[in-house]
Chain A
Amino acid sequence: MGDLLREPLTAGNALLFLLAAAGLLLIVLGFVTYAIYFERRVIGWMQLRVGPNRVGPLGLLQTVADIFKLLIKEDTIPRKADRALFVLAPVLAYVPAFAVLAVIPYTSGLYFADLNVGLLYYVALSSMTTLAIVLGGWASNNKYALLGGMRSAAQMISYEVPLVMSVVGVVMLSGSMNLRSIVAAQGDWFWQWHFLPQLIGFAIFVVASVSELNRTPFDLPEAESELVAGYHVEYSGFRFAFFMLTEYVYVYAIAALTTVLFLGGWHPPAPFLDIVPGLIWFVLKFALVVFVLFWLRATFPRLRVDQLMGFGWKVLLPLALLNIFVTAAYMELWIK
């Protein structure tokens, strides 16, 4: 893929790009299908029950059946809803979720777009989804949806600030926003990966990204007991499916980004382990992050809304700023 990007653009190459991107789309859809199955099985196992095991062998076709069911469900748009915006919102939520995947590098040769502003591109596009959530909540013309949408937006913008600030330390250490250079800047031993030198940044990044994903313990926008389902109450059928798809595509994106920024990307944990290909290491670390996200959901209760906002602004934001200057001082004293 990398060699192809360095050749001049021809129609044939453009077609290959399209095929490669479509291939990634299929992989992501496959990931989402089995991430949902895996999540339900893992949580079932942690709660001492079985989880889905009826559709297909070991329940492997459960999510496929669910998706098909959503596809053939009637699609109702409430009479009072703002039709154009209501239709637009799920599409607008999904497009940035997939578009951010363009900059993720998987190995030193396997990447899609090698942007020098890769990290900024990721951060900027991923915040577009907030807009879609507010839009969906507003266009539904429903009280629960509106409140859920506003809550979601408030939470996402509050945690986006610490999220983007927590990676500034990584950018400083690697001197680049290009995700491939960031991986290259991390050493061969696992203690040289950014998660140890940037321990505070890593902790903030994990907390803030769980919140950005609207997952437990930060799943207030979907607090069933108070807001029914949040911003997508009025959505049914495949429009609802696209909101769910967006969430799981972001799980993919965040897990891949965490791997790239903090867990050394495709580097093996020790130099002598490089007989195993880099892609395998990437997938292992990626799977670990995904598992931790599901594990968190089985472990933590939901926060209260006041605790949530207070934590974001009063704890994470000052800590993220502190992290930047600690990193700067460390670089002044030891690296320069």
Chain B
Amino acid sequence: METYANNYVMVAIFLLLGIFLPVAALAAGRLLRPHRPSGAKLTTYESGNDPVGEGQVQFNIRYYLFALMFVIFDVETVFLYPWAVAYRQLGLFVLVEMLIFVALLLVGLLYAWKKKVLKWDSI
């Protein structure tokens, strides 16, 4: 059992190394790179013109709808995974159950489709 934890020690090492590389590289870069900020350099880039208005502009509501759809179907996949792992041991009954579950969500997808949520009409 305690040797099983070794695998998670490995995962932790990977995470730490993943954090270490950018931190170390950016810290080392600080010694190498010049640092001469000027007013013009620090302005927001907008194809060479002076920036107009706020940078955090209003964006399309569709992104929000896609995020909602994503949450629904991602939760569905969370249910699908354990089902798929155990499928060999389970019978026809769970297959029908999963069919019903997926069909319910598919109705949601069809509804979104009909409501033209999936149709992209601007940026």
Contact = CB atoms under 8 A, between A and B. Distances in A.
Interface of A: 5-9, 13-14, 17-18, 21-22, 25, 71-81, 90-91, 94-99, 101-103, 112-115, 119-121, 138, 140-147, 150-151, 153-154, 157-158, 160-161, 164-165, 168-169, 171-172, 175-177, 228, 233-234, 237-239, 242, 305-306, 308-310, 313-314, 317-318, 321, 324-325, 328, 331-332, 335-336
27 contacts: A7-B3, A7-B6, A13-B6, A72-B29, A73-B33, A74-B36, A75-B33, A77-B42, A78-B45, A80-B44, A99-B11, A99-B14, A113-B7, A113-B14, A150-B63, A151-B123, A164-B74, A165-B80, A175-B85, A177-B81, A238-B25, A306-B119, A313-B113, A321-B102, A324-B84, A325-B95, A325-B99
Contact of A160 (B44, B60, B74): B74
Interface string B89-123: 00010010011001000100100110000111101
Given A91-B19, A310-B120, A228 B47 contact: yes
**For chain B, which range describes its interface: under 10, 10 to 19, 20 to 34, or 35 or more residues?**
35 or more
Contacts of B74: 157, 160-161, 164
Given A76-B41, A306-B120, A71 B56 contact: no
Contact of B88 (A98, A146, A175): A175
* Chain A contact residues, majority secondary structure: helix
Contacts, number: 227
Contacts of B21: 25, 94, 98
Nearest to A234: B45
B7 A99 contact: no
Contacts of A151: 123
Contacts of A144: 45-46
Contacts of A324: 80, 84, 102
